[in-house]
Each structure stands twice: as structure tokens, then as C-alpha cells.
Amino acid sequence: MFGKKKVLKTDPSVPDSTEVPKSSNDIQSGVREENEFRNDAKTAYITPDCKITGTIKFNGPMRIDGQVDGEIITDNGELVIGKTCTVNATITTKSAIIEGRVEGKITASDKIVLRQKAHFTGNLQAKTLIVEEGVVFAGKCNVKP
């Protein structure tokens, strides 16, 4: 009774520290940041299993591989619409690279690139437009350098 320390058993389900554990599966979180963009800037990322309805506002680079219905807005950000992405939205951005399916309106203050297997239906406006071979484009474009 006296002189011996009593050892308490701890519950293994309760973490010992106050740190928030990092998810071992980033895809489950829906949105994550990556360092794969230019200049090692942090890139916001929407995964293929994520669906967003509403308005997305961001600064810096963003990659979307999921589904978006609504509006995407950034003043100085760079947007990449991935191959698995489906977007039905009005997009306002500095520059955009489209690899997937987009229906709506894109206004870019700098450049829009439509990659090889992109499908775009709608209107676009930019200073520079690059369209690779194999793109499906139905709509109007206004390019003003």
C-alpha cells in the first residue's frame, strides 16, 4: 500500500497527445493541399470522389478532379480541371487548364488552355487561348490580347 506506485492502465483508444492525427488516406478528406504545382506553392485539391454544389473562392493554385456545380471564383489563382472532373459552373480566374468536361462560362484575365481530351460547352473569354488537337469545343470564344 505504501511505497509502491500504482500503475494506471490507459485506454488505447484515447490518444496520449493533443495533436490532431493526420489522415492516412487523403482521398477520404475530400479536399487536401499538395505541393505539385509550380514554384512549390500549396495547391488546393478536390478529389475525384468529392461533389461540391455552390461557390468556390480561392487564391493561388487549385486542382479539381471531382464534380462542381455552381461558381468558381479567384482573382489571381490558377485553376486546373482534371481529366476526371465534371464542372457545370461559371468560372472567373486568372488562368485555367481544362482537361475534363466543363459546361458554362469561363472568364480568364490571362490564359485558357484546352488540353487534348477536354470537352467544353459554353462561352469563354481570355487574353490567350490554346486549343490542343482532339478538344471538343461548342460555344463562343472572345480572345483579346
| Each residue's pLDDT expressed in tens, for the chain with a length of 145 residues | 566 555 555 444 444 433 433 443 443 444 433 333 343 458 899 999 999 999 999 999 999 999 999 999 998 999 999 999 999 999 999 999 999 999 999 999 999 999 999 999 999 999 999 999 999 999 999 998 7
How much is the pLDDT for 2? 60
Cα 109 to Cα 99: distance, rounded to the nearest angstrom: 19
How much is the pLDDT for 12? 46
Cα 72 to Cα 106: distance, rounded to the nearest angstrom: 9
The domain segmentation of the chain, as residue ranges, is 29-131
Contact present, 76 and 58 (Cβ < 8 Å):
no
Cα 139 to Cα 135: distance, rounded to the nearest angstrom: 13
The two most distant CA atoms of the chain are separated, in Å, by 87
Q: Taking the model in full, what pTM does it have?
A: 0.71
How much is the pLDDT for 22? 42
